Amino acid sequence: MKKVIVGISGGVDSIVAAYLLQKEGYDVEGLFMRNWDSSINNDIKGNPTLNENICTQEQDYNDALDVCNKLGITLHRIDFVKEYWDYVFTYFLDELKKGRTPNPDIMCNKYIKFDMFKKEADKLGADYIATGHYARMIDGHLYKGIDDNKDQSYFLSQVSIDKFSNVLFPVGDLKKEEVRKIAEELNLSVADKKDSTGICFIGERNFKEFLTNYLPNTPGDIIDIDTNKKVGEHIGLMYYTIGQRRGLDIGGNDKRLYVVGKNLDKNVLYVSLGDDTKYLQSTSCIVEDINYLSDKRPTSASAKFRYRQKDIPVTIEYLEDGNIEVFYDNVKSVTPGQACVIYDGDECIIGGIIKEVRKDGKKLEYLL
């Protein structure tokens, strides 16, 4: 009997994945990862600051233990707190310091779930590992999950294809409502549990308050990019994303504003007034940190620049420095630091991180 170690998070997807494998006759065990110290943060000087009322990770473990006990699945527990800090959270902070828009979930999959986790599973004698990701492996290639609304191949785009050689995605062929129905039929306590959101393994928090524990606030001017006049003050460039309209807190201005860019050297946040989104539109981007998930090197394909974004037709130029330039027709809010994921139909073939955004061949300087 082949042994599968399933990453059990305490959510409905991972436990249904474990149940489905158990039903298929695998020897199934679970492994719960503790990747964040949910009771303590450090301030910008490294001093611990207690955060009361944050106990979701322990609740997740209790939920995981409850459902595993019900299904007769042994649940192991491992701490990756230091590894998560070193490889995921530090990256997240460094990218924010650069004014970019990082996706820590992608790095968590690359360094924790499909690296550290796999090594721990090997110690437990695993023939396979499995997770509750909505994705599919077909003939050694990574494909989207069939549920368009839940597909998570975007978040797997930085994982080396060889890491998937013994990986199973049991819920990738199911819709989310089917997964919940299975959990309900089994009378599992997590059947109606809300999907996790927020920063990977850190969860939902007041983002501004949370970041002040690690990065100092540096207030500065908000400048109207059309008039070059000051229209307000920002509380720190790291708190704003390209295209953002809410939360600018510019008193006395009844027009609609949206964020169009940042200048780190001058500590300036650029905004534009009205409904004209011309500053958000670009026609190509340079993508670095390329991860090839296939031998395919198409010049025409589709891409996503954000999770759950509809597929966008693109053309691709492969550059001599190993990066690629991805061309498209006036897409809004393509932003440095985001992932660019290339697809051939439903197959995920290339992942990378956006380095530079261009319009008609010229770099958009206000986008860093």
pLDDT tens digits, 8-21: 999 999 999 999 99
Contact 177, 195 (CB under 8 A): no
User: Does pLDDT of 202 surpass 80?
Assistant: no
Q: What average pLDDT does this structure show over 355-367? A: 90
Cβ neighbours, 10 Å, residue 227: 10
Q: What average pLDDT does this structure show over 20-31? A: 98
Domains and CATH numbers, the chain: 3-207 (3.40.50.620), 217-273 (2.30.30.280), 280-363 (2.40.30.10)
The whole-model pTM stands at 0.90
Separation between Cα atoms, residue 272 and residue 279, nearest integer Å? 8
What tokens were used for 126? 């695993």
What tokens were used for 317? 């130029």
Which helix (H) or strand (E) is 74 found in, with range?
Answer: strand 74-79
**Comparing C-alpha atoms, which of 205, 208, 145, 213 is closest to residue 179?**
145
pLDDT band at 53 (very low <50, low <70, confident <90, very high): very low
Q: What average pLDDT does this structure show over 184-211? A: 75
Taking each helix axis as running N to C, give the angle between helix 12-23 and helix 176-185, from 0 to 180 degrees, rounded to the nearest 10: 70
Separation between Cα atoms, residue 216 and residue 181, nearest integer Å? 46
Q: In this predicted model, what pLDDT tens digit does every residue of 128-177 receive, in sequence order?
A: 999 999 999 999 999 999 999 999 999 999 999 999 999 999 999 999 99
pLDDT band at 278 (very low <50, low <70, confident <90, very high): confident
Separation between Cα atoms, residue 64 and residue 115, nearest integer Å? 22
Positions annotated as catalytic residues are: 108, 200
Cα–Cα distance list, 346 to 129, 147, 303, 332 (Å): 23, 11, 11, 23
User: Does pLDDT of 203 surpass 80?
Assistant: no
Q: What does the pLDDT read at residue 39?
A: 60
Separation between Cα atoms, residue 24 and residue 153, nearest integer Å? 24
User: Does pLDDT of 261 surpass 50?
Assistant: yes
